[in-house]
Structure formats: structure tokens, C-alpha cells
Amino acid sequence: MAATTSSPLRLHIGGLHPKEGWKILNIQPGPNVDFIGTATDLSVFADATVDELYGSHIYEHLDYHAEVPLALKEAFRVLKPGGTIMVGVPDLEALCRLFLDPRFDLTQRFSIMRMIYGGQTDPWDYHKSGFNLHLLGQYLYQTGFDDIRRIENFGLFADTTSLAFEGVPISLNVLATKPL
């Protein structure tokens, strides 16, 4: 059954915690999950029905050959013209600099490595892609998004998009718009 709503539809892909005005789609069921599914298959949503789409640290779990382009194509499809996508992914440039920083010991480097490759605590917690602003921006641009820009912090959810390691932000947060 397709999702329908008369109020603005704001979709949090991969979310766990409820927030007024937002619906959650997650690959795993949970008490606050409104829809079970993946970022690569948003078929529960009709074309141009979502006002805002938020994905915090989900796109790096997709392979860069097929799944990332497919997921962004699906996001583009379901967003209304003028709708926005907010993407947070590990900032590979920042993490590489941190990993090579001689101030950090083996334990700290292990923590940084986990941020790069995923915590690997369940079958979905593996990272298959890495991004910097140029790479992510190119994926978004090729999908059709415009007004692509880096955002320091979305300030919407208490999640990884605001995480810092030793004072260095580790999330690349990007906002893009579906043209009118």
C-alpha cells in the first residue's frame, strides 16, 4: 500500500527515534519505524510526494556502482519539485587526516577505522562507499539535484551528523534541492 498524507511528508531514512512531523523508513523493524524498506526501493511512496528527505549515515552502506545511484534516483523520484534531500555521510577526507595524525594511538586509530568501514555489528553495519564533498556532490548532480551545498549541522536529530572525534567533525553534511 502506498503512503499518502495531506500534511507535508518528511521522510527520515534509517531513523530510529520519532520526531514530530517526520516519518521513519528503516531496513529493520522497530517501535518507531513507520515503513520497512531500503533507500534503494522507495516504492511505498508515489512520485513527487515527499517534501524533505533525510538520510544520516546510510548512503555509505550502499555500493557505489549501483546502489548509491539507485538510492539517489529513488530520492529524486519521490521528492516534490523544490523538495530537499539532506545527506550525512562519513567525511572520508577528515577521517583519513585523523587516521594519519601522529598524535593518535592504536586505540584511537581503531575507532577512526570503524568510522571509515562501519561498526560491523550487524549485516547492515558495513560501509561500501566513501565520500568527500566532490564525490557526493557529483552523485547528486548526476541524479538531477541542484543547489548542492555543505551544511555544518542539520540540527534535526541527535545523530552521527553532529559527531566529532577529538573536536574534528567526522560527518559530511550536504543539502541539495530537486529543481522546480
Q: How far, in Å, CA of 154 to CA of 88, rounded?
A: 9
Q: Are strands 22-26 and 10-13 parallel, antiparallel or unpaired?
A: parallel
149-177: pLDDT as tens digits:
999 999 999 999 999 999 999 999 999 99
92-116: pLDDT as tens digits:
999 999 999 999 999 999 999 999 9
User: What is the pTM (predicted TM-score) of this model?
Assistant: 0.92
Q: How far, in Å, CA of 147 to CA of 152, rounded?
A: 16
Spans of all domains in the chain: 10-177
Q: How far, in Å, CA of 102 to CA of 11, rounded?
A: 41
Which CATH number is 10-177's, of 3.40.50.11810, 3.40.50.150, 3.40.190.10, 3.40.50.720? Answer: 3.40.50.150
pLDDT band at 3 (very low <50, low <70, confident <90, very high): low
